[in-house]
Amino acid sequence: MLNFKLDEEFVNSYKDIKPDFGFNGLGQLTYYRTYSRLTENGHNEQWYETVRRVVEGAYTLQKEHILSNELGWNNRKAQHSAQEMYDRIFKMKFLPPGRMLWALGTPIIHQKRVGQALFNCAFVSTENIGKTLEEALKPFTFMMDMSMVGVGVGFDVEGAKKIEINAPTSKHEEIFVIPDSREGWVMSLEKLLFTYFSKHFGFNNASVVKFNYEEIRPAGIPIAGFGGISSGPAPLEKLHNQLRDVLHRLDGKKITVTAITDIMNMIGQCVVAGNVRRTAQIALGEVKDKEYRSLKDYRWNSESQKYEGSMAHRAQWGWASNNSVNVDESTDFEEVAKQTAINGEPGFVFMNNIRAFSRMCDPADNKDIKAKGTNPCGEQTLESYELCCLVETFPSRAESKEDYLRTLKFAYLLGKTATLVNTTWPETNRVQKRNRRIGTSVSGITNFIGEHSLDVLKQWLDEGYHEIQKWDDIYSSWLCVPKSIKTTSVKPSGTVSLLAGVNPGCHFPEFNYYIRRMRLSKNSSLLPAILNSGLHIEDDVVDASSVVVEFPIHNQGKSLNTVSIWEQVSLAVFLQKYWSDNQVSCTVTVKPNESHEIKTVLDYFKYDLKSISFLPKLEFGAYAQMPYEAISKERYEEMSAKITSVDFKQVSEDSIGEKFCNNDVCMVV
């Protein structure tokens, strides 16, 4: 399967080295919970094996590309390069995205050729749904297909009012037996939407489609390849019924902003409930569109009644997307800032800056004039149907600036390698091969500032950015592909930063000393390995079938208790200026006494930002077993002193659960 192999003696030299996972065991448990795959001997991978799989998968993709284009492969040089990449990943100087940690080097990529499984994020526009029936269906099927392999997808609502919805009236029925596959689920969505969209395009006798769900595996059966446990057909059947309800209410009417968002959100709800893959969405609409801005106002009020009667029903699925508005320097932020101060939505996307600029410290280059939106977390500029792969680097874990610059070579190369794969979507392949967009990210920024200074960070980032451009020249020439349109980002991170033990992205920690809690099923085979670890474990007060594990965490430098809204946004602007030619994902925590300042902050920084979001500060300690709890330095030291080494080497297939689960309430089952 993999036609590039690392030297066996080299790999074995890492077998007994203890990986430097972060946060007093939290990073190690996160790795086994989320990224360690089942091996042929029935046990989960160890870290050295995961790194091997990823590196061999990457260099296999390079080798296949070089050989298929007859460009000349040098195995000696490749072995030397691959070994250095291996070492830097093993030591967590940089890490692949979660998608790569899970999928690279597996049959998903190298046999089934589902290349999109390597990518973090995508965007699709609905602007062309009025052109042809195929264009009308495609954004929705794209959303479902990508979501089912773990890609987070952004979408816009530009297709509103461009097609008329008509309920099928034919007396003929089509029975569609849904295949038990990703493609089968997507095909069922396409067939259902066809019956409501087709009349607009001159197809007047579409049959009424009815579904047979008998081939879909029962609930509780393991899903090979992508991981997780089958939910059975129930979530898909629910999606079909929800879509019929929404579209029936629009019979004879133009598709609305609300309906487009409903369809996308329902797809996201189905994918999550279907236990096929965790997903994420972002919706993008115009700031002046009152219907769009009312999407998450679930109350019975006069504003929402103008559009869909009551928005109350949307609470069932509206959570599936973060909603943002497109703004520019002429926007009056008064009303929308007040709305954001309530629950953190909408976020703000500055498409004029996105299209005109790479780094904001450089002159406008208009490289991204075709850009249509962003990924769900807002760090990626994207055209419609475009994907991006985000590789994470940790300057705070580098031994020196020179060491960090060297790491950037391999982080960049891993991202560039992802652009060599084909996806199952021709539209995506076309834009991918043209743009070769990647996102080399930095994480643990606030850790680095705490240890060094903002001036040192500026030097490292500015030199690092140019270092990446140098390697893009070299490797694009070697691979005979276009240079990447954009190369750098700041992603919000998630479980990947937990592995390395750094703060996510550019965010400040909640506290300097705190407890981070993780929930596990009492049946998890991960649990026995930590029972005698010295970590505090107690029964879950909400779920009797689970336990809560407490990890003491210490973060140097500032915490959100002492950092203002202005300092958080200023750091995002700093990174947009000196590092990210794509975007910076920054969710600004807003204290109650700062909510009135959102408008002023947006007015002041609207010339420097590409995207930003705000979240009102939650009150910690409001209920038992909160994900985060502030503690004293003395309690931290007391808890840390009790922790002993944890041995997960005997973890078996019983630990397999839902993968890419990176929120605070996820459990391994």
Query: Could you report the per-residue pLDDT of 505-535, keeping only the tens digit for each?
Result: 999 998 899 999 988 888 887 888 888 888 9
Report H helices in 363-482. 401-418, 426-435, 445-451, 454-479
pLDDT value for 602:
98
Are 248 and 288 in contact by the 8 Å Cβ rule? The answer is no
277 pLDDT exceeds 50?
A: no
Per DSSP, the three-state class of 509 is coil
Question: What's the CA gap between 621 and 569, in Å, rounded?
Answer: 26
**Taking the model in full, what pTM does it have?**
0.91
What's the pLDDT band for 303 if we cut at 50, 70, 90? very low
pLDDT value for 548:
92
Determine which one of 291, 308, 345, 379 is catalytic: 379
Determine which one of 121, 158, 345, 377 is catalytic: 377
Q: What is the pLDDT of residues 21-58, one digit of tens each?
A: 999 889 999 999 889 998 888 888 999 999 999 999 99
Which residues lie closer than 8 Å to 323 by C-beta, 6 or more apart? 261, 282, 283, 285, 292, 295, 296, 345, 346, 347
126 pLDDT exceeds 60?
A: yes
Structure tokens at 666: 């996820």
Structure tokens at 208: 């009424």
633 pLDDT exceeds 90?
A: yes
pLDDT value for 312:
62
Query: What does each C-alpha distance from 432 to 148, 239, 471 come to in angstroms?
Result: 20, 31, 19
What's the pLDDT band for 665 if we cut at 50, 70, 90? very low
Question: What's the CA gap between 516 and 629, in Å, rounded?
Answer: 7
Mean pLDDT (the chain) is 90
Residue bearing the bigger pLDDT, 349 or 226: 349
313 pLDDT exceeds 80?
A: no
Mean pLDDT calculated for residue range 645-651: 69
Instruction: Answer yes or no: 480 catalytic.
Output: no
What is the number of helices (H) and of strands (E) in the chain?
23, 22
Dihedral in degrees, nearest 10, Cα atoms 494, 496, 502, 503: -10
pLDDT value for 619:
61
pLDDT value for 279:
67
pLDDT value for 40:
82
368 pLDDT exceeds 70?
A: yes
Question: What's the CA gap between 118 and 329, in Å, rounded?
Answer: 36
650 pLDDT exceeds 80?
A: no
Instruction: Answer yes or no: 270 catalytic.
Output: no
pLDDT value for 206:
85
Are 157 and 126 in contact by the 8 Å Cβ rule? The answer is yes
Residue bearing the bigger pLDDT, 544 or 290: 290
Q: What is the pLDDT of residues 104-119, one digit of tens each?
A: 999 999 999 999 999 9
Mean pLDDT calculated for residue range 415-432: 97
